[in-house]
Each structure stands twice: as C-alpha cells, then as structure tokens.
C-alpha cells in the first residue's frame, strides 16, 4: 500500500485482469495517477473462446508489449518532461525488440502450422493469432476450474481423430488431468509456461518467456512427426 501511495505513476492491466487493485488504488488516492493499459485502444484484444469477455493473456503477443511500452513512455514523459526523450527512446528500443521477437517466433514455428496440440488451459489465443498456430483445444477453459466429463470426452475424440498429438501442461498446475485425457492415446507431452515461472526477473524476462514457448512448442511438435 505504501508503494502505491508513494508512486508517481501506476501502470497496471486493468480491473478485468487485476480485480484486487481498484480498491487499494482508491484507498490511497492513487486512482488518478494510474493507467490501465487494457483500456487503451492500441492493444489488440481478443475474446475468450465461446464467451463475450476479453481474454486477459494479452502479453502473449509481442505487438501488445510494444504498445504497453509506448503507453508507459507517454505517461512517464507527461509527469517527467525533462526525460521525455529518454522514455521515447526506450519505448522505440522495446518496439524493435518486439519486432525481432515476432520474426523469431514466426521462423521457429512456421514449420508446425496445422500440427495438432492441446494446451492445459485456454490461455494462448494471442500467441496463436501472432504466430499462426492453433490447438485442437484445451483441457480446461479456466485454469482454476476442471472441465466436466462431457468436455473431456469430446476432447479425447478430437485427439483420436487427429492421430498423434502434443499435450502441454503448465508448471503452476497439476498435470493429473492430462493422464486421463491421454490414456490409451498416441501423444507426446511438453510444458508451455505462459507466466514464466522460475525465470529470473530482469530486462530479458519477456524474451526468455516467449522463446521458451517457441522452443517447447517446436520441440514437442517435432516429436509427433518423428518415425
């Protein structure tokens, strides 16, 4: 709370993603100095599959992170005009890094477009849009709520029809449900981590997160083609 009260600027996702934050912002008088990036039209927004709400995993699209850097630079320049040129330079550097990361992802994943895989939960719509890959489905729509028997049976039928498939768990959650989904089927397994669990926080965190996704996806999809 002290950090919020003392901050000159608070940049956050928004109430739809960080629902715990509006009340603290109000209570310490920081609401007027906060910027919710998901309210800015420069970010690509995608709906949750099968629903009307927006998907919150916006960071899995590099162009969105370039937009976040631009939004941050604009607002920092507004409250600290003496350093506006530096903020703008840094945002331009981030934009260049995101374009390079986009190219890297396209190069690594282009051989695997159309290859079948299943994710732990439906978290990758932005990643799919950015890099042209598409899963057969997800074990869970919401990471915190297990799918019912009917949904699991339908997913198993999709996997059977596809032949050999990659199943991806996430390190933050038990892979127990995958054993049920995979029982008796021809699958390879891997891990996709959309949160970067265990990665060191620092200047290269985002590139490490995304390159980890590229490499994990490519590694497993190579194996389903192996003789």
Each residue's pLDDT tens digit, 123-141: 899 999 999 998 988 887 7
One domain, residues 119 and 91: no
One domain, residues 14 and 99: yes
The domain boundary residue, chosen from 57, 77, 107: 107
Q: What is the pLDDT of residues 140-186, one digit of tens each?
A: 776 666 667 788 888 888 888 888 899 999 888 776 667 777 788 88
One domain, residues 117 and 102: no
One domain, residues 97 and 181: no
Q: What is the pLDDT of residues 32-70, one digit of tens each?
A: 889 999 999 999 999 876 666 788 899 999 999 999 999
Domain that holds residue 69: 1-107
The domain boundary residue, chosen from 86, 107, 128: 107
Token pair of 45 as six digits: 């927004």
One domain, residues 62 and 119: no
176-184: long-range contacts (C-beta < 8 A, 24 or more apart)? 177/139, 177/140, 177/146, 177/147, 177/152, 178/120, 178/139, 180/152, 181/118, 181/139, 181/152, 181/155, 181/156
One domain, residues 27 and 81: yes
The domain boundary residue, chosen from 59, 92, 107: 107
One domain, residues 99 and 190: no
**Interatomic CA distance for residues 152 and 134, integer angstroms:** 19
One domain, residues 115 and 170: yes
199 burial level (CB within 10 Å; 0-12, 13-18, 19+): middle
Cα distances (Å, whole numbers) of residue 226 to 135, 165, 178, 182, 192: 19, 12, 22, 19, 20
One domain, residues 5 and 20: yes
One domain, residues 127 and 215: yes
Q: What is the pLDDT of residue 203?
A: 87
Provide the CB-side half-sphere exposure for 223 (13 A, CA).
14
One domain, residues 128 and 213: yes
């Amino acid at each position: 709370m002290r950090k919020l009260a003392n901050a000159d600027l608070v940049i956050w996702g928004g109430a739809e993603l960080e629902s715990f934050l509006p009340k603290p912002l109000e209570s310490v008088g920081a609401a007027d100095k906060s910027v919710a990036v998901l309210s800015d039209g420069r970010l690509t927004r995608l709906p949750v599959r099968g629903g009307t709400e927006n998907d919150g995993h916006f960071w899995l699209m590099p162009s969105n992170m370039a937009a976040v850097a631009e939004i941050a630079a604009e607002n920092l320049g507004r409250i600290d005009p003496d350093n506006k040129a530096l903020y703008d330079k840094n945002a331009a550097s981030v934009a260049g890094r995101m374009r390079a990361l986009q190219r890297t992802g396209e190069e690594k994943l282009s051989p695997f477009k159309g290859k079948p895989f299943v994710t732990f939960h439906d978290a990758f719509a932005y990643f799919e849009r950015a890099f042209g890959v598409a899963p057969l489905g997800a074990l869970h729509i919401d990471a915190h709520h297990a799918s019912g028997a009917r949904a699991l049976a339908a997913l198993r039928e999709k996997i059977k029809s596809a032949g050999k498939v990659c199943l991806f768990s996430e390190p933050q959650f038990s892979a127990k449900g995958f054993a049920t989904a995979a029982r008796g089927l021809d699958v390879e397994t891997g891990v996709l981590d959309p949160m970067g669990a265990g990665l060191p926080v620092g200047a290269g965190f985002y590139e490490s997160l995304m390159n980890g996704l590229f490499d994990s996806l490519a590694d497993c999809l190579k194996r389903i083609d192996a003789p």
